[in-house]
Amino acid sequence: MRLRRLLLTFCLLLGTGVLFIPLALLAGEVPKAMRYSDSDKKMLLGLARTGIEARLKGETPQVPKDLPPYMCEPRGVFVSLHRGGRLRGCIGYLEAVKPLTEAILEMAAAAAFQDPRFRPLQAQELADLEVEISILTPMRPINNLEEIQVGTHGLYLERGFSRGLLLPQVAVQCGWNRTTFLEQTCCKAGLPPDAWKEKDTKIYTFTAEIFGEHSKPAACAPQESK
153 CB burial (10 A radius; 0-12, 13-18, 19+): buried
Mean pLDDT of the chain: 82
Give the domain CATH number at 46. Answer: 3.30.700.20
Q: Rounded to an integer, what distance in angstroms lies between the CA atom of residue 135 and that of residue 31?
A: 11
Distances (CA, A) of 34 to 2, 31, 37, 47, 57: 23, 9, 10, 19, 34
Q: Rounded to an integer, what distance in angstroms lies between the CA atom of residue 195 and that of residue 202?
A: 10
Which helix (H) or strand (E) segment holds residue 133: the answer is strand 129-136
Query: Would residue 98 count as lying in a domain?
Result: yes
The answer to whether residue 203 scores a pLDDT higher than 90 is yes
Same domain, 168 and 188: yes
What pLDDT score does 85 carry?
A: 86
Same domain, 122 and 94: yes
Same domain, 117 and 187: no
Same domain, 153 and 123: no
User: Quick count: other Cβ atoms within 10 Å of Cβ 182?
Assistant: 24
Strand-pair category, 8-14 with 208-212: unpaired
User: What pTM did the predictor assign?
Assistant: 0.79
Per-residue model confidence as pLDDT tens digits over 78-118 = 999 999 989 999 999 988 999 999 999 999 999 999 999 99
Range of the domain at 182: 140-206
What pLDDT score does 66 carry?
A: 86
Distances (CA, A) of 23 to 37, 77, 192, 211: 28, 12, 24, 23
Same domain, 49 and 126: yes
Same domain, 132 and 47: yes
Q: Using N-to-C axis directions, what is the helix angle for 38-57 and 100-113, rounded to 10°?
A: 50
Same domain, 165 and 129: no
Query: Would residue 149 count as lying in a domain?
Result: yes
Q: Rounded to an integer, what distance in angstroms lies between the CA atom of residue 198 and that of residue 139?
A: 20
> What's the structural domain count of the chain?
2
What pLDDT score does 175 carry?
A: 95
3-state helix, strand, coil in the chain (%, to 5): 30, 30, 40
CB contact at 8 A, 44 and 36: yes
What pLDDT score does 32 carry?
A: 53
Same domain, 97 and 170: no
Query: Would residue 153 count as lying in a domain?
Result: yes
Query: Would residue 176 count as lying in a domain?
Result: yes
Query: Would residue 4 count as lying in a domain?
Result: no
Query: Would residue 8 count as lying in a domain?
Result: no
Same domain, 126 and 165: no
Query: Would residue 226 count as lying in a domain?
Result: no
Per-residue model confidence as pLDDT tens digits over 140-198 = 999 899 999 999 999 999 999 999 999 999 999 899 999 999 999 999 999 999 999 99
Per-residue model confidence as pLDDT tens digits over 5-16 = 222 333 343 443
Query: Would residue 108 count as lying in a domain?
Result: yes
Same domain, 131 and 144: no
